[in-house]
Structure 1
Amino acid sequence: MTLPAWYRLLPLVAALTLLGGCATIGPAYTAPDLPLASQWQAPQAHDGRLASLLDWWQQLDDPVLHGLLAVTEQQHPSLQSALAAIDSARADVDTAAQAGVPSASLSTGVTRQRSSGISRSSALDASWEIDLWGKLQRNHEAATARLQASEAGWHDARASLAAELANYYVNYRASQLQTELAQLSRQSQQDSTDATRVLVKAGFSSAVDGADAEAALASADNTLLAQQAETELYLKALVAVSGMPEAELRALLASQPARLPAAANLQVDSVPADLLRQRPDLQAAERQLAAASADIGVAEAGRYPQLSLAGTLSASRNQGRQQSSWSFGPTLSLPLLDGGSSQAAVTQAGANYRQTQASYQSSVRSAVQEVEQALVRVDSSRQREAALSARHQLATGQLAAVNRQWQAGTASVLALGSALRSSIASQQDLITLQRDRLLYTLALYKALGGGWITQNESQAS
């Protein structure tokens, strides 16, 4: 039995297949070992119940904020963009995977000629690039690493978006409370001004006292108007971030009395090195570094000969006669003279790796700095809140004492108004500090990764 001639090429094909992928050019990537401290240097707050990052939002016990977070995640453009980036990166992985398998295409045609009549033809073309130096493998590694970076980028976008929305919400609620206090202070100043007008008219106070009272009232009006405008600005920001219609958002905000969410206590029981696993932006940066390392292998493999197998099988039929032909064989591409472009590609890939590595190292340092600074601010605000609370209690006690004196006729309405405004001012300072403590806690939440965990950790739990 005589075998077709192309069967003789099978041993060559088998040998090339075994050869393909045996040599992988380029550096073997390992995640960089960064010198980090073994523990956090800043003090940590441990008062109250400690809780993990994953259920942190539930600790705030604010249904309106929870609802806003849910709505915002469904329709925010930054998350849609991050999801699109994942889809694009996944398509790149599929393309890179398909580059290492044979490809085939079939074409058919029918032609009519006056002399020969109808002619039919068909052709099957196939090709296969042999991955001699691991170029395709490195390309697939780079695409996979960039896909993982895109997935981490989506988690980072979620954490950033949640923190941004919560920042606006906390500022809005604090501004609401400050507006209420500004209204009380303005009304108190109005009462004092009215009383001063009576005293000036009766000759018991000078015109200077009357002018001072009028100026204080004008200042109170200005403070109230500015505070009302600030509240509206924060509401507009919430509309922009959440994407909710303004009327619907106003109704949602009005469904709950103005109050600040409870300040949560984060359990920072991880060491700085764990930050690399908790922060999605650092995960994304490390995966980009892995992709840059694989790109070096792709560039280096481009300096070596490239081998591919190609074959064609065609058949035609014309006037009852059928003809067929086939061709099959390897094609070897030798980069002889390229003007140094292949070496330049390797140099560029190496430089890009070093640049990406420096960026990654800088990101790690910045992340540790963010956590340390947030810890200091949270601890400081916690201590200051105790002092301001004591001050407010004293001011409230003084107001109560002056009120009793006024009811007994031993204190003037002016003294009562002054004590009331002093109590309001201490409460305003306390609200500002409580707001700042929440904002610092939000910054710590985001600096610790925003509750994100790796896929392996999620499966293990």
Structure 2
Amino acid sequence: MRIRFTNRPRTWCRPAALLCSALAGGCATQPMHVPGPFPAPLALSEPASPSPSGMAGEAPIASGDWWTALNDAAIDVLVPAALADNPTLSQAIARVDEAGAVLSSRAAQRMPLLQMDLGAARLRELDHETTPATSAATLGLALRWEIDLFGRVRNSVNEASHRLDARHADATAARLALTARVAHTVMALRGCRFAEAVLADDIASREVTLDLSEHHLAAGAMAAVDVHRARAGLAAARTAKAVRGQQCATYTNALVALTGRDAASVAALMAGPVESRTAAAQALPLYAQWIMPRAPSYQLRLPATMLARHPAVLAAEAELAAASSEIAVARAERLPRVDLGAALSGQWLRAPSESATGWSIGPALSVPLFDGGRGAANVAGSQARYRLATAALRGAVRDAALNVENALASSRSAHARLVTTRDAAEAAQATFDATEAMWRAGASSLFVLEDSRRQLASANNDAIAAVQDSSQAWVALVLACGGSPIIPESASQ
């Protein structure tokens, strides 16, 4: 056979070149996701007024341990306990581990798959009993590697990576929410215990008033209706104290559930400051500033910087990037897939002794021809999820900005009420002292005394609430800002 050479052009090379060009051009099934600027407010409508209790020369507070700026012994003990043993935080961490495992599984698709098959058999023909049995053994190695022409594997890995980033942001948000809830509950319990102590002092004062009223009634110097009024006021105060005690128990139980510590240890942490009251605290509401942790002075970063670091915004941005990669994966599933495979097999027979080996190597092309519209539906679904993620990101930015605005408004309100409620409590205390002295001297009625006492109780509750709200507003601001956007004033100077 003679082989003839010709100078005619090889026409089959042109389609092959066009096919290669088409494959190379089709590698980019989806543009790479680039984080775009989100609509962040240029300035806050509520100016950030530093806390009046902040002290100059404070050291910068690490965003991870923001609660240490409060210098509260109970918070410093209970927050680490909650971080060490909390079911909600454990679930968030487990989701991070799950996302990491998915990423590792997706990344493994980039590597070749090597598989070994072993087999052994004992064979004998039933029609030939004299024929000796035959033993057979097989050994095979198979290699399979997908050539990622259209980026299906690459975008699948990117999607899993973005999901992992989102789960990390979710875990950060869960950690921040847990620490803020512990600090908020500790402050609520401190305020509740202090209000309970105020009610105890009020009950003691009412008991003295009732005793004096009964003596005046026995001497004929007071009407029976005044004694009944004093008894009713004492009973109402005792009822209020019982209700307040139930509220305090609720806060204690919440801390037990959050931290995993027993109620006795939580109560021991809370009892110290309340039980250490001294005679120097003439006005009880003023003493509330001593037992409530003081918020440090702060300065907020720019709104865009603040929102860009917010865990909820970071999670939404990562989900958007993952949705973009998901579109690329869905599109790549509709395109041809090229797998490179290799196999090596051997078989050994024992009686008679024979052996056979073989190998193969070559690419395999898989082209989807008809799927009933499933591929197009998957692409449409991924595009819808991308639009959903886009809307979720916009919503996360708006919610974060709204929470910051509300937290700043609460902080300003609490700061203003610190002064007004203190003035009201001082005036109410002076009025009550004067009215009580007049009543003891017989120059005033019990009705006027009880009215003055009610005004004092209301002023005391308002003053305690203002101090508590001032500290809790700072915690709410930390939570709204995502933790890190708050800078101590000394750090910015």
TM-score between both structures, scaled by the size of structure 2:
0.82
Which stretch shifts more, 362-371 or 318-327? 318-327
Residues 62-107 of structure 1, C-alpha deviations (whole Å, 9 max, x = no match): 1111110011100101111111111111111111111122101112
Contact 2:106 2:153 in 1 (8 A): yes
Paired letter, 1:187:
A
Corresponding residue for residue 218 of structure 2: 201
Structure 1 residue 36 and structure 2 residue 46: aligned?
Answer: no
Q: Map 1:37-436; keep pairs closer than 5 Å.
A: 37-46=41-50, 47=52, 48-49=54-55, 52=61, 54=63, 56-114=66-124, 115-257=132-274, 260-265=291-296, 267-319=298-350, 320-398=353-431, 422-436=455-469
Residues 316-371 of structure 1, C-alpha deviations (whole Å, 9 max, x = no match): 11123221011222221111111111011110000000011101101110110110
Distance 1:435 1:369, change over 3 A: same
Please identify the structure whose Cα radius of gyration is greater. 2
Aligned-partner Cα distance in 2 for 1:65–1:20: 60
1:206 shift after superposition: 2.5
1:373 shift after superposition: 1.1
Aligned-partner Cα distance in 1 for 2:340–2:262: 60
Distance 1:380 1:247, change over 3 A: closer
- Structure 2, unmatched stretches of 5+, are 1-15, 125-131, 276-289, 487-493
Distance 1:221 1:175, change over 3 A: same
Contact 2:152 2:328 in 1 (8 A): yes
Aligned-partner Cα distance in 1 for 2:266–2:230: 39
User: RMSD between aligned alpha carbons?
Assistant: 2.7
Aligned-partner Cα distance in 2 for 1:252–1:198: 43
Which stretch shifts more, 275-284 or 49-58? 49-58
Contact 2:274 2:291 in 1 (8 A): no
- Structure 1, unmatched stretches of 5+, are 1-11, 454-461
1:266 shift after superposition: 5.2
Paired letter, 2:314:
Q
Paired letter, 2:261:
M
Residues 382-441 of structure 1, C-alpha deviations (whole Å, 9 max, x = no match): 01111111222233444555677789x586795878766654542322111111222222
Aligned-partner Cα distance in 1 for 2:321–2:72: 41
Corresponding residue for residue 457 of structure 1: none
Which stretch shifts more, 165-174 or 396-405? 396-405
Distance 1:452 1:74, change over 3 A: farther
Amino-acid identity (%): 30
Aligned-partner Cα distance in 2 for 1:197–1:412: 16
Paired letter, 1:254:
A
Aligned-partner Cα distance in 1 for 2:395–2:443: 63
Aligned-partner Cα distance in 1 for 2:445–2:212: 7
Contact 1:21 1:132 in 2 (8 A): no
Structure 1 residue 25 and structure 2 residue 29: aligned?
Answer: yes
Number of residue equivalences: 437
Which stretch shifts more, 105-114 or 42-51? 42-51
Contact 2:190 2:270 in 1 (8 A): no
Contact 1:23 1:134 in 2 (8 A): yes
TM-score between both structures, scaled by the size of structure 1:
0.87
* SS of the residue 2:120 aligns to: strand
Contact 2:74 2:186 in 1 (8 A): no
Equivalent of 2:478 in 425, 445, 460: 445
Aligned-partner Cα distance in 2 for 1:437–1:183: 24
Contact 2:292 2:468 in 1 (8 A): no
Aligned-partner Cα distance in 2 for 1:250–1:107: 65
Aligned-partner Cα distance in 1 for 2:384–2:291: 50
Aligned-partner Cα distance in 2 for 1:41–1:331: 63
Aligned-partner Cα distance in 2 for 1:57–1:443: 12
Residues 29-68 of structure 1, C-alpha deviations (whole Å, 9 max, x = no match): 1113222221211022134347656263222111111110
1:262 shift after superposition: 2.5
Aligned-partner Cα distance in 2 for 1:197–1:400: 21
Aligned-partner Cα distance in 2 for 1:261–1:20: 67
1:268 shift after superposition: 3.6
